[in-house]
A and B are shown apart, each in its own frame.
Chain A
Amino acid sequence: MAIQMGKQGKIKIRRIPGLDAIEEIVGRSVEMGRPVFDIVGMGVFTDIYATQTIAGLSILSYVSTLCARLGAKLYAPQASVDVLPVAAEIVSESYRMEGKLEELDVEEQLPYLSGTQFAWASGIIGMAARLRPAGNIMIGPFWAESMMFAETFDRIGAMQIGGTARMYQIPFFAALCDYVLIGEEMFAAGAYVSGDPQQIGSIAAQDWYKLAALALGILGALLATAGVTIIGDLLIM
């Protein structure tokens, strides 16, 4: 229903400043002659954070297209061996579609650093210190290294967008990044940047489900206060 309404142009969603700022970051990097970093996190395709990894790869696709089009140098260091070939293919495809494939050096710009957390984190911190990017986009599943990245890139003056659905790390991004995507905003990222009406409709469906959950929660709390636990019992079944 939401997708149908989206196709008919009946769905409008609010601006998400963090996603609007991606183009600003790439433009800034071109003006300053400094690279852009896009970090998709340490997730793999076989854990519970796979959806966050996919959201991060959607943004990588968008960012790499913009970088190819505008002439910014993109770095997207990788931590997962199963995500690496997918990310490399995504970026190569973006450059190919912009006719700039010869400007891409996959091994240098999408290096595999390490599968272990702090080896990967220290590798990225080192790359940031040497390359001094003007922009940093971190959308995906992040662990403790989120604070290190946010602080390091902030120190070198990079404009940052941070987005993750891993609750423990959201405060660190919120504290230090210029823009932050909280929780489900990153899942809407791919649909938002594409502007596809069908996909915009799916974001609306997401919000409708949330409203339903909110209504159930309020109703359940009121009923439970009155000693009626029917909502809770139904949901446990």
Chain B
Amino acid sequence: MDYRRDIPLAITFLVGIIAVLDYYTTFESVTNTFTVIKNWGVVLQAFALGLGAVNLFRVHGKRVSERTREDWMFSGWLLLMLVLFVVVGLGTGQYDASTQYAWIYNALYMPLGATMYSSLAFYMAYGSYKVLRARNFEAALLFITAVLVIIGNTPIFPATFPVFFNIREWIFGPIVSGAYRGIRIGVGIGAVVLGIKTLVGLETGYLGRW
């Protein structure tokens, strides 16, 4: 018996079976057991969160103390911000509901998050230019469809020529929805089969045994 493989597989099977039974049955003992397991999961996640913070302090603290890397000051900034948010949140006693926490969140984090998301516009613009080339028949189909959808999505074109809106709706309807549903069915089946394989111990890649 390979205990390093068999014990984790047995635990996976046991917990998985309880989860499946909880979904399909209404036995109180199963529900109570699964609730306990879910609570253990919450506790594990809480400890893992601490692990993440420890990891950050170890890695970036080392960079600040050694100062051999060019970007060591950014590690210092990261640690400073980490401590600041925690101190402000816990210190006011109101966590993220405090006005002070809201202020530093809106002043520091919010603009950064919005900027990163907005930078997608630039990535997409360049990606569209580079990729949408009618090199062959399939690429030409993609090119024509993409151009029609972009025109339909640009507010000024449908407002001026409503036919573009109808074209876009037609592409989104039978074509895109149909293709999407096909892929979705495949993904759903694949996920179920992977779940069953994980449950019965056929899939062991997550244990480091591919």
Contacts and interface: CB of A to CB of B under 8 A. Distances in A.
Contacts of A115: 49, 52
Contact of B119 (A54, A111, A148, A205): A148
Interface stretch (A9-17, A31-39, A80-88, A226-234): A80-88
B41 A184 contact: no
Contacts of A26: none
Nearest to A199: B202
B193 A58 contact: no
Contact of A89 (B180, B183, B194, B208): B208
B167 to A, nearest CB: 19
A148 B119 CA distance: 9
Interface stretch (B22-30, B93-101, B123-131, B154-162): B123-131
A183 to B, nearest CB: 4
A98 B43 CA distance: 34
B197 A199 contact: yes
Main secondary structure of the interface of A (DSSP, over half): helix
Given A54-B198, A90-B208, A112-B55, A147 B124 contact: yes
B131 A175 contact: yes
Contacts of B194: 51, 54-55, 187, 190
B185 interface: yes
A81 to B, nearest CB: 4
A108 B59 contact: yes
B117 A144 contact: yes
B17 interface: no
A41 to B, nearest CB: 14
Given A58-B205, A82-B48, A112 B56 contact: yes
A211 to B, nearest CB: 10
B85 to A, nearest CB: 12
B203 A54 contact: yes
Interface residues of A, number: 64
B120 A85 contact: no
Interface string A160-196: 0000010100101001100000111011101101100
A155 B189 CA distance: 35
A183 B193 CA distance: 13
30 contacts: A46-B41, A55-B205, A58-B203, A59-B205, A61-B209, A62-B210, A81-B45, A81-B48, A82-B48, A84-B48, A93-B209, A107-B58, A112-B56, A118-B112, A118-B113, A118-B116, A147-B123, A147-B124, A182-B183, A183-B190, A184-B186, A187-B187, A190-B194, A190-B203, A190-B210, A191-B203, A194-B210, A205-B193, A209-B192, A210-B185
Interface of A: 3, 44, 46, 51-52, 54-55, 57-59, 61-62, 65, 81-82, 84-86, 89-94, 107-108, 111-112, 115-118, 121-122, 144, 147-148, 150-151, 165, 167, 170, 172, 175-176, 182-184, 186-188, 190-191, 193-194, 198-199, 202, 205-206, 209-210, 213, 217
Interface of B: 41, 44-45, 48-49, 51-52, 55-56, 58-59, 112-113, 116-117, 119-120, 123-124, 126-127, 131, 180, 183-187, 189-195, 197-198, 202-203, 205-210
